[in-house]
Amino acid sequence: MRPPIVLPRNIHYARLPLMIAIGLAASVSRAAVDDDGVYEFGIEWIVDYRDADDLPLCDDDADSVDNVLSGKGWTKVFKKGNGDANVSHWKSDKESDYVDKVDLALFRGHGTKSWDWKFLKDLHGPMFREPKWYDTSDYRLTPGEAYQRYGDKDAEWIAFGCCKALTDGGGGYWAAAFKGAHLILGYETNATHAAYASTWVDLMVSNNAGDPAKRVGYSWFVACDNTQANGNVARIVGENASMINDFLWGQSVGPQADPVVDQYYTRWDHKKGDPITVPAMNRPAAAQTNLPYYEVTPRSITPEYVQQLAAYMGVTGTLVHDPADRMYYIGTPARYLRVSEVEGIEFGRPSDLWRSFTSAPALPPLPDAMMTVYSFLASCAGCDLLPPDATISEARFSDTQATIEQLPDDTFVVIEEYPTYIQVNYPRQINGFPVVGPGGTCMGYVGQGNQVVGFTRAWRPYRYAGDVTILPEQEVRDLFDTYGDKVTVSGVPDAEELVITAASLGYYEHGFHRDQTYIIPVYLLFVDCLIAGSVESSDVVFVPAASRFLPPIAQIADPLDGWRFAAGESVTLEGSAIHGQPEYDYSWSSDLDGFLGDGTPLVVGLTAGTHSITLRVTDSAGGVGEASVTIEVGVSAGSDFDDDGDVDLTDFAHFQTCFNGPNRPYAQSDCADADPDHDRDVDLSDFALFQGCFNGPNRPPACL
């Protein structure tokens, strides 16, 4: 597919200043809320033409669209065919069946070219039933007749199921019809007579958990692939680039907010068979209560399959199999191939990928690189390189190098900076959500001469395993703020402070050659990385979205961090766990005394010294969580807070700071040592113990 292009719309030159002013004054971006609270559609179709060829599938296609949308709760405002279909419905707001009174309007029939009196040229548009010889009524719709008419009332999507409706001016003449509508969908080329409208609508609605709703624009392009002849080009024009993210009302999150009308529009083209680069289902983190999770079903990797891949990729050498590592390898220093029995394929040409250049390499344009990778993945029959649900998301220049020059004063100056290859990404989606993590994208690398110089893919097969309850977003934010990397599946970036700025939902997949039992729903937490209070960078961390997939979080109730115990005093160890999969096993250890025992609570005696006490929790799925506290046993008197061998006014100052009365939390985080009776407050009973130790400076504590 060709990348989206942002172009100025075609506006009647004689009224350009006035029309821009009117468009901006009348246009306010509205939230995505249906204006009348009812999802409405209208269809007009022509089967029987008098002079042009008949189109016998148009009425069947219209009926199928009607059945699908009506079955999803939409209201049919009109469905008119042959002589009842009227061009005036598409250009006059005085008509009761005016297309701008419905959310989705579809025309099925022929396209034609006729004179447009606004733009003063022949332009293409839908062709209604030709009149009889004595009837002079209009039967052709041109862009000028619909100028700034679509979207002022209700319309979001106008679909022209006919030939060449959007061929003129890059679709810009029809883009001039926007006045709040989101997308106009049609064809740049001829369109094969087929039931593509019903295919389009069926893709846009969710039929079951395994068949989620697809976006409006993406579905139009898939329908092109499924129904059109080779060479046909589907075209979509949108008020702006975000309109391609629309879902139908009632599906997923619905459409984008109504756009502001300006002098620009965005165009997307898709030629049958080319990769589809517009998004399919990627959804933000709307409130979810349950989501499916999926069991990984490992592929069966055979030596014959690896040899087939090697032959296709031009890799030579002796095939080596390491059964312990579950890995196949074949290659030379120039080219290699690794195929994991765990999961994944990795192909590379090291001398092209990681070489040092003295000048900029001759890299192809990004669209050419995208097509090269697509052809590389799709052309190997039986290789299973291109996943059936993959769509190109982006191509970008990567691995910047530079040519530098040394000056006479031994300093250096950069002469030229340049990328050394192009990375083409195929992101994965499951159940309408992005798959994140190292395995969430397969990547192709294109070097000089538009040659594929590398490829890596995980993309594990899976099957439905069940549903899980999704934790509320705020609870997951709080978990991350409290426990940090203990609750992530991918670690955290290195920073003094991480501040969550946004969140969304997705699924997580490990990368190449990593064991994985389930593909699970996760929260994507977008974070700013702060150093010395300033944002240095931004990143994203992944936290399981369901309690059962979180690691068990160990919590130590007793003792608290900082508590002090007398020599020989028994210490009660008590802990618990949350999340993970119950039941839990508890194990206690000390860095001084080693293993202390299993279970909770556990009463132990500890040797004198400073102990780091660790609770290790193992859940029923083998997940592990740990927590630790530091306590002192018999090191010094319980009230010698500064450990200088006496209990004096310096120690009293600390106690006074911590004193907060009975049944109240510690006044500050370092007050656990001022609670010698270990009842989680600092009150008069603790003061009595302190007073029993007070003996002044440079004198042994009275309580020793």
The pLDDT of residue 700:
85
The pLDDT of residue 11:
37
Which tens digit of pLDDT belongs to each residue from 531-563? 888 888 888 899 999 998 998 989 999 998 888
Check if the beta carbon of residue 254 is closer than 8 Å to that of residue 243. Answer: no
The pLDDT of residue 20:
20
The pLDDT of residue 192:
92
- Report which of 495, 486, 504 is spatially closest to residue 579, judged by C-alpha positions: 486
The chain-wide mean pLDDT, for the chain, equals 84
> 276 pLDDT exceeds 90?
no
Domain boundaries, the chain: 2-271, 344-459, 466-543, 553-633, 639-704
Instruction: Quote the tokens at residue 431.
Output: 């159940």
Quote the percentage of the chain above a pLDDT of 70.
88
Question: How many CB atoms neighbour CB 402 within 10 A?
Answer: 12
Work out whether the CA dihedral 690, 693, 696, 698 comes out positive or negative: negative
> 35 pLDDT exceeds 60?
no
The pLDDT of residue 40:
93
Q: pLDDT-based confidence at 137, cuts 50/70/90?
A: low
For β-strands 336-340 and 327-331, DSSP reports them as antiparallel
1-15, 206-220, 652-666: range with lowest mean pLDDT: 1-15
**Mean pLDDT, range 295-314, rounded to an integer:** 95
The pLDDT of residue 13:
25
> 456 pLDDT exceeds 50?
yes
**Mean pLDDT, range 90-111, rounded to an integer:** 87
Structure-model confidence comparison of residues 192 and 430, the more confident one: 192
The pLDDT of residue 5:
43
CATH of 2-271, one of 3.10.170, 2.50.20, 3.40.50, 3.10.20: 3.40.50
**Mean pLDDT, range 201-211, rounded to an integer:** 79
The pLDDT of residue 32:
41
Residues 6+ apart with CB under 8 A from 133: none
Check if the beta carbon of residue 345 is closer than 8 Å to that of residue 338. Answer: yes
The pLDDT of residue 618:
93
> 6 pLDDT exceeds 50?
no
The pLDDT of residue 278:
66
The pLDDT of residue 392:
57
Separation between Cα atoms, residue 191 and residue 199, nearest integer Å: 14
Superfamily of domain 553-633: Immunoglobulins (2.60.40.10)
Which tens digit of pLDDT belongs to each residue from 111-131? 999 988 888 889 999 999 876
255-264, 327-336, 475-484: range with lowest mean pLDDT: 255-264
Structure-model confidence comparison of residues 131 and 35, the more confident one: 131
**Mean pLDDT, range 297-306, rounded to an integer:** 94
**Mean pLDDT, range 277-296, rounded to an integer:** 67
Amino acid at 362: A
Q: pLDDT-based confidence at 302, cuts 50/70/90?
A: very high
Which tens digit of pLDDT belongs to each residue from 101-113? 899 999 999 999 9
- Report which of 269, 13, 258 is spatially closest to residue 150, judged by C-alpha positions: 258
pTM given for the model: 0.57
Q: pLDDT-based confidence at 9, cuts 50/70/90?
A: very low
87-91, 134-138, 145-149, 453-457: range with lowest mean pLDDT: 134-138
Check if the beta carbon of residue 226 is closer than 8 Å to that of residue 205. Answer: no
The pLDDT of residue 29:
35
Separation between Cα atoms, residue 254 and residue 288, nearest integer Å: 15
88-92, 275-279, 438-442: range with lowest mean pLDDT: 275-279
The pLDDT of residue 133:
52
> 290 pLDDT exceeds 80?
yes
Amino acid at 277: T
175-179, 230-234, 355-359, 520-524: range with lowest mean pLDDT: 355-359
639-704, which class in CATH? mainly alpha
Helix (H) or strand (E) holding 689, with range, is: helix 684-693
Beta-bridge partners for 95: none
Which tens digit of pLDDT belongs to each residue from 574-605? 999 988 888 999 999 999 999 999 999 999 99
